[in-house]
Amino acid sequence: MNKEEIKDKIAKLKKEKNAVILSHNYQIGDVQDVADYIGDSLGLSQKAAQVDAKIIVFCGVRFMAETAKILAPEKTILIPDVRAGCPMADMITASELLEWKRNYPGSKVVCYVNTTAEVKAECDICCTSSNAVKVVNSLTADEILFAPDKNLAAYVARYTKKKIIPWDGYCYVHRYIKARDIREKRNLHPEAEVWVHPECLPEVIDLADKVLSTGKMVQEVRKTKKKEVIIGTETGIVYRMKKENPTKNFYPARDTALCFNMKKIDLRKVLRSLENMIHKVEVPLEISQKARGAIERMVEI
């Protein structure tokens, strides 16, 4: 089957089964093209809860599909490749978090959505890359344990008086992007602005004009008067930006900033997922309920 035939078959099956395809901004272009909604990690999970469809094919990494299942437990959530995990989310386990918490009585635990459901279940509140500062500042405790991303933690620390104690996790994709990449790209494109994701290294953040989550980047691109932007995040997002804003130019800060887990999903796997109803994402009820509490506390803010 060629690409167009696969796309046609996916569209037919989607209709037959009343399914919806969600794609993260970092997915390959072909997958974005067959998606009903493209978005950031939390936005997609919320979409999963809102849509009418009973079956959701979630094209992203496991923690995102799990979050969708937590917010929409009555729906069937399928992930086309179960090996699509997030190495950063796996840098802290629930037992490690429990032990860490014991050493800091009186503190509150904020977990980035890039965590497993088990870890979310043990934290006080979740946050995303777009609301982390707001979430931290909403808490009454003066000491905050922040997991797992130490770079996002360092970014938050710039905007709060609270003491932020970071877990030693990081995203290997954003760590590829170095300050020298930003300087080189600025020299090549002097008219361009530099936008980076808060998972980037502090020295990269220092050089940026804007620090934005993937969802905010996509919104901001529509509004900006700038014709050129250097993008400091996973390069998959550039496909969407260019498709939606054909008259503007986007340059990845580093061409090799690729999340190999995001790229594990392709059209054939999306088709197989719909045909065979695989791989179903399940979260045990007790964990799901506790994790949902942490997500809902964030959404209330």
Provide the binding-site residues for ligand SF4, judged by CB under 6 A.
61, 86-88, 114, 171, 173, 234, 259, 261-262
CB of 152 to ligand SF4, least distance (A): 10
CB of 165 to ligand 13P, least distance (A): 22
Q: Could you tell me where the beta strands, DSSP code E, fall in 68-211?
A: 76-78, 108-112, 125-127, 143-147, 163-166, 193-196, 210-211
Q: Which amino acid makes up residue 135?
A: V
Asked if 32 touches ligand 13P (CB under 6 A), the answer is: no
Q: Enumerate residues 166-195 that contact ligand 13P by CB under 6 A.
A: 171
Q: Among residues 82 and 98, whose Cβ is nearest to ligand 13P?
A: 82
Instruction: Tell me how far apart the alpha carbons of residues 196 and 201 are, in angstroms, rounded to a whole number.
Output: 10
Sole binder of ligand 13P in the list 151, 213, 235, 288 (CB under 6 A): 213
CB of 102 to ligand 13P, least distance (A): 29
Torsion of CA 126, 66, 76, 214, to 10 degrees: 70
Residue showing tokens 């870890």: 119
CB of 40 to ligand 13P, least distance (A): 3
CB of 257 to ligand 13P, least distance (A): 10
45 binds, among ligand 13P, ligand SF4, none (CB under 5 to 8 A by kind): none
CB of 187 to ligand 13P, least distance (A): 26
Q: Which residue is nearest to ligand 13P (CB)?
A: 40
Q: Regarding beta strands 228-232 and 193-196, do their DSSP bridges make them parallel or antiparallel, or are they unpaired?
A: parallel
261 binds, among ligand SF4, ligand 13P, none (CB under 5 to 8 A by kind): ligand SF4
Q: Among residues 61 and 119, whose Cβ is nearest to ligand SF4?
A: 61
Asked if 128 touches ligand 13P (CB under 6 A), the answer is: yes
Q: Could you tell me where the beta strands, DSSP code E, fall in the chain?
A: 19-24, 37-39, 55-59, 76-78, 108-112, 125-127, 143-147, 163-166, 193-196, 210-211, 228-232, 249-252
Sole binder of ligand 13P in the list 27, 129, 151, 235 (CB under 6 A): 129
Asked if 41 touches ligand 13P (CB under 6 A), the answer is: yes
Q: Among residues 63 and 251, whose Cβ is nearest to ligand 13P?
A: 63
Sole binder of ligand 13P in the list 23, 107, 114, 116 (CB under 6 A): 114
Q: Among residues 152 and 271, whose Cβ is nearest to ligand 13P?
A: 152
Asked if 214 touches ligand 13P (CB under 6 A), the answer is: yes
Instruction: Tell me how far apart the alpha carbons of residues 185 and 189 are, in angstroms, rounded to a whole number.
Output: 6
- The token pair at 175 is 């760590």
Find all residues with CB under 8 Å of 161, minimum gap 6, and list them: none
**Alpha carbon distance, N-terminus to C-terminus of the chain:** 48
CA dist 270 → 13, 50, 273, 283 (Å): 11, 21, 5, 21
Instruction: Tell me how far apart the alpha carbons of residues 130 and 157 are, in angstroms, rounded to a whole number.
Output: 14
CB of 174 to ligand 13P, least distance (A): 6
Instruction: Tell me how far apart the alpha carbons of residues 189 and 288 are, in angstroms, rounded to a whole number.
Output: 47
Q: Which amino acid makes up residue 131?
A: N
Q: Which stretches of the chain bind ligand 13P, using CB under 6 A? A: 25, 40-41, 114, 128-129, 171, 199, 213-215
